[in-house]
Amino acid sequence: MAFIAESLNRIKVSPTLAVTNLASQLKAEGKSIISLGAGEPDFDTPSNIKEAAKKAIDMGQTKYTPVGGTPELKMAISDKFKNENELIYDPSNQITVSNGGKHVIFNALVSTLNKNDEVIIPAPYWVSYPDMVLFAGGKPVILNTTIDTGFKIVPNEIDKLITEKTKWLILNSPSNPTGATYSAEDLRAIGEVIKKYPNIWVMSDDIYEHLVYDGFNYHTFAEVVPELYDRTLTVNGCSKAFAMTGWRIGFAGGGSVLIKAMEKLQSQSTTNPSSVSQAAAIEALNGDKSFLIDRARKFCERRDIVVDLLNKVPGITCLKPEGAFYVYPSCSSLIGKSTKNGEVINNDEDFCKFLLEKEGVAVVQGSAFGLESHFRISYATSNDLLIEACKRIDRFCSSLQ
């Protein structure tokens, strides 16, 4: 009898983290690696946030907190939802805090899915959604999108996938891995479909909310479809906007029954998120946010550099998305070609493997995100490194025969 649980056989190691680890390992071996794998801002956590954490340590805030977060942090989150999203969530029973947005989503899915319950996930998707569903015993139902709609879902297509087993639709705008963003109008059109099915819930993963460009007007689902407020879990966190990936603070607002269930699960796993990180998160949410504008401007500049350079590379086509810090270029016309040594590129995985091997550029294969013949670039790094990476990608692609 196998010792490792069957639930673990249904999932794989996160490919985004695997690529990031491999790139770090190669760098440590002394190779010249440019890592565009990790979805992580290269900026530092702002100093006021770090100071708040240091102060919390000095004040002895180093003990357990309530499972779902301190009342002060829940209040700060409630204010954030009210001020930025026009959403009212009662801090006493409609908000929960976990160890990163990923943990929030995990808690929500594990707390709600029974065997074979279905979750509709638009593809290209963030690598962890389907595996979390599978781990929970559910069934991911993939809603494919194409480059023609800018990788956004066509609302009528949702209808076709709905069954009596459908429990959730996951929305992620701006999207990881494509950067696709949904306008208020787009979200309302999706809402019209979901309204017809009283048992379906919407999980709105808003982690890239503050990373939007070209004057894009950000809205979240429950805000623009208030009729579905009761059936929406609004997920967000500190990682991306405040460059706090290592602090692990994610949060959600939603119905009290669901929030209570998520906290019940958390009480039997991690207890509370780090007390020090929670103190830092209060400062992130309540403190000065003017730096967000400057950072978004820098990300936008990087996006323009990357999209521009990639579209000049033979065989690469790249859309210019309005959000997040990813681009999702197609390498389909390079599939079937060979490297100088005669190694055939059979798929996007080979493309990424040989790109890393020959030129030291780490990117993540599109198949990990549910759309093959593409790859994901995280452009959360300096302009100089991005220019150098694109030069290497160009050299690699131009060398293929």
Cβ 77 to ligand GLU shortest distance, Å: 20
Lay out the site mask for ligand GLU across 198-237 (x = CB under 6 A, - = otherwise). ----------------------------------------
Q: How far apart are the first and last CA of the chain?
A: 49
Running DSSP on this structure, what letter comes out for residue 114? P
Stretch that binds ligand GLU, among 11-19, 28-36, 339-347, 385-393 (CB under 6 A): 11-19
Task: Tell which positions 31-90 bind ligand GLU, by CB under 6 A.
Answer: 38-39
CA angle 385, 249, 186 (to 5 degrees): 75
Q: Which stretch binds ligand GLU (CB under 6 A): 125-133, 150-158, 161-169, 225-233?
A: 125-133
Which of residues 14 and 61 has its CB atom nearest to ligand GLU in the complex? 14
Nearest approach, Cβ of 99 to ligand GLU (angstroms)? 12
Cα 332 to Cα 111: distance, rounded to the nearest angstrom: 39
Site for ligand GLU in 165-184 (CB under 6 A): 176
Secondary structure (DSSP) of 227-268: GGGGGEEEEEESTTTTT-GGG--EEEE--HHHHHHHHHHHHT
Smaller CB distance to ligand GLU: residue 176 or 204?
A: 176
- Helix, strand, or coil (residue 5): coil
Nearest CB to ligand GLU, comparing residues 166 and 176 = 176
Q: What minimum distance in Å lies between the beta carbon of 13 and ligand GLU?
A: 11
- Which of 173, 176 has the CB closer to ligand GLU? 176
Binder among 80, 102, 303, 374 for ligand GLU (CB under 6 A): 102
| 127 part of the interface to ligand GLU, by CB under 6 A | yes
Give the H or E element holding residue 122. Answer: strand 118-123
- Least distance CB 245 / ligand GLU (angstroms): 7
DSSP state of 347: S
Which residue is closest to ligand GLU by CB? 39
Residue 23 or residue 52: which is nearer to ligand GLU going by CB?
23
Kindly determine how many residues on this chain lie close enough to bind ligand GLU according to the rule CB under 6 A.
Answer: 10
Nearest approach in angstroms of CB 205 to ligand GLU is: 10
Residues 6+ apart with CB under 8 A from 133: 109, 113, 119, 121, 139, 140
The dihedral through the CA atoms of 236, 237, 239, 241 has a sign that is positive
**Closer to ligand GLU by Cβ: residue 100 or 254:** 100
Nearer to ligand GLU, 102 or 167 (CB): 102
Shortest gap between Cβ of 102 and ligand GLU (angstroms)? 5
Residue type, 150: G
Say which residues have a Cβ less than 8 Å from residue 170's Cβ, sequence separation at least 6. Answer: 119, 120, 121, 122, 125, 129, 202, 203, 205
Helix, strand, coil share (%) of the chain residues, nearest 5: 45, 15, 40
Angle between the 101-112 and 256-267 helix axes, to the nearest 10 degrees?
Answer: 100
The contact mask relative to ligand GLU for 13-32 (x = CB under 6 A, - = no) is -x-xx---------------
Closer by beta carbon to ligand GLU, 40 or else 372: 40
- Please give the backbone phi and psi of residue 97, each rounded to the nearest 5 degrees, phi first: -125, 135
Residues of this chain that interact with ligand GLU (CB under 6 A) are 14, 16-17, 38-39, 102, 126-128, 176
